[in-house]
Amino acid sequence: MDALHMQMNILPLHVRDQIRDRWLQLRLDTILPVIMAKHQLDMWVLIAREYHEDPIMETLFPAAIDSSRRLTIIVFVLNQDKTVERLVIHTNPSFEPFYQRVWEPAEEDQWKCLARIVADKKPQSIGVNVSDDYSFCDGLSHSFYTKLLHTLGEEHAALVRSAEQVALDWLQLRSDEELMAYPTIAEITRKLAQEALSNQVIHPGITTTMDVVRWIRQRVIDLGIQTSFYPTVDVIRKGCGKLDDMVIVPGDVIHLDFGIHYLGLATDTQQLAYVLHMDEHEVPKGLQDAMQTANRLEDIMCENFREKQTGNELFAACIQQAQDEGIRAMIYSHPIGTHCHAAGPLIGLYDRQEAIPVRGELVIQNKTCYAMEFNIHQYIPEWDEEIPIYLEESVVFKDDQIHYLAKRQTDFYIIR
């Protein structure tokens, strides 16, 4: 492992594969039976083809499986003792020991194999990945849906329903091992953000915001990992508001929105830096006060998180308390996990500061993770104007408490 990877604690690929396989086995053993029983789903059928993958199917592949290879069908069967049989209709031996291979190619095609399994198991409900509201849960193509109904026949086709509730829980609930590792992933993100917002990368009067974007994208690629979305960098400048694609100059507040995808988990954070003027030795007090206000809003959000409340209820409670405390706030937080904008309850939207239908009505659950994303507007006396302060921190909700996955930002990074 070279010095760059060691500095950021990036593991070799074979070790990452071992960890992700261990996590997959743990999730299949502990999370899957619970959520199928919770939502009373007797059978969950996932069908995907090569180059047209179901987003749920990809979370079920062991490291040695990188695609559906023509056609892959996975069938989960909930037994009366609440255990789950895990069957795969494919010939690739790398599916074992995670799944039992049940297809006999010399005697049947994959669809006939599926029909045989359904007839043998006699489920009362068959879940498939179709959904009007959640992209994660809508991975079954129309052609495969019609093929499935035809294969099952009229009697069993009548049992088919959306598996979206099971799929949502599969994506958003984290195992204990994943939660132990998530802070390390968040800390790598924080180190990269701090490095990007430093004099190692930024030279006032020379470096542009796009230069910083290009640097951080290359840095992540060099580490052998991925960004969880295309990063953005902009500046807030006295008298000019928010500016994109600009040369960074003294007096600028630099705003970075960035995350990584590593070990199958995504992060999402927004961090701030200030560029000192030649005669300055610290960040103007007005900006420091605005940072403290932003941190207070984070405290408000942490105080209001409750298990089983909806995202809309949490949003309303936080906005109301912020207003009561004289904070001009916008809240648009979202789950993180397998994806950056992940499955689970929305807590406001940037362009909709109100109750969000459907996705905002999902409830907060134990062992779920979020990007606590927001902004506040505050008057800066030194600038004689009101400006926005954007922050975002990755957090986990566990045992009725919010925990930051990495140390939250309480002071501006300083660039000289």
Question: What are the tens digits of pLDDT across the range 253-287?
Answer: 999 999 999 999 999 999 999 999 999 999 999 99
171-188: pLDDT as tens digits? 999 999 999 999 999 999
pLDDT tens-digit profile of 324-361?
A: 999 999 999 999 999 999 999 999 999 999 999 999 99
Q: Which residues pair with 273 in a beta bridge?
A: 254, 413
403 is written with which tokens? Answer: 């925990």
Residues 6+ apart with CB under 8 A from 356: 311, 312, 315, 346, 348, 349
Give how far Cα 310 sits from Cα of 108, 134, 365, Å. Answer: 47, 17, 9
- Say how far apart CA 83 and CA 98 lie, in whole Å: 14
pLDDT at 2 over 80: no
Please give the pLDDT value at position 8.
76
Task: Place 4 in a pLDDT band, splitting at 50, 70 and 90.
Answer: low
3-state class (DSSP) for residue 202:
coil
* pLDDT of 6: 58
